[in-house]
């Protein structure tokens, strides 16, 4: 099914979930995974990026190590792009690596968060013919007086979903 998967990630909880998702998918299909982080240039920053080279490399290295620990053959790289160029960099990396699929994390934004979102998933999907797989959105787990509350990222708790 898939022999080569490109995992594009950031340092959010969605990136962590996407790494676990890519590991499970790769183990199931026998695929290799290439981890990509696109370090965004700051607007008006004269070439400065959101993360230092060292921070970006650490992010990729940690994901690669997690994949290898899960029994997946993995490698990684960092690319740099302007804010609006992130999806294009993801697609270029997938083409360069002859990937069969792209895995992205999912952050469910509400209200104003959607207005300022980069919409990376949607734009990546429009730029490629490859399947773009979106890992599930991370659940928020909190404890209220000994009761565990699961939240799905849309503000719905398990309790409210069951009632």
The angle at the Cα of 142, spanning 141 to 148, to the nearest 5 degrees, equals 85
Phi first, then psi, for residue 103 (nearest 5°) are: -110, 130
Class of domain 4-138: alpha beta
- The enclosing H or E element of 60 equals helix 53-69
11 by Cβ neighbours in 10 Å (0-12 / 13-18 / 19+) ranks as: middle
pTM above threshold 0.95 = no
* 135: confidence class by pLDDT, cuts 50, 70, 90: confident
Q: State mean pLDDT over 6-16.
A: 87
Q: Residue 153 and residue 132: Cα distance in Å, rounded? A: 21
Q: Which of 93-97, 151-155, 157-161 has the highest mean pLDDT?
A: 93-97
Residue 73 dihedral angles phi and psi, to the nearest 5° = -75, 120
Question: What's residue 15's pLDDT?
Answer: 85
39 and 51 Cβ atoms separated by less than 8 Å: yes
* pLDDT higher than threshold 80 for residue 124: yes
Distance CA 15, CA 148 (A): 23
Q: What SS3 class is residue 55?
A: helix
Cα–Cα distance between 67 and 25 in angstroms, integer?
11
Going by pLDDT thresholds of 50, 70 and 90, the confidence category of residue 47 is confident
Is residue 144 scored above 70 in pLDDT? no
Distances (CA, A) of 64 to 41, 119, 122: 23, 25, 25
């Amino acid at each position: 099914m898939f022999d080569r998967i490109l995992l594009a990630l950031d340092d959010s909880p969605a990136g962590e979930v996407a790494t676990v998702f890519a590991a499970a998918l790769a183990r199931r299909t026998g695929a290799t995974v290439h981890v990509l982080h696109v370090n965004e240039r700051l607007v008006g920053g004269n070439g400065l990026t959101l993360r230092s080279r060292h921070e970006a490399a650490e992010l990729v290295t940690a994901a690669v190590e997690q994949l290898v620990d899960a029994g997946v053959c993995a490698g990684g790289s960092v690319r740099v792009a302007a804010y609006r160029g992130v999806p294009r960099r993801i697609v270029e990396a997938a083409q360069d690596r002859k990937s069969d699929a792209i895995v992205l994390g999912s952050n469910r934004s509400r209200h104003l968060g959607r207005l300022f979102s980069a919409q990376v998933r949607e734009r990546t999907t429009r730029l490629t013919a490859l399947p773009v797989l979106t890992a599930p959105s991370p659940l928020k787990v909190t404890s209220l007086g000994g009761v565990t509350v699961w939240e799905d990222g849309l503000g719905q708790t398990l309790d409210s979903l069951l009632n």
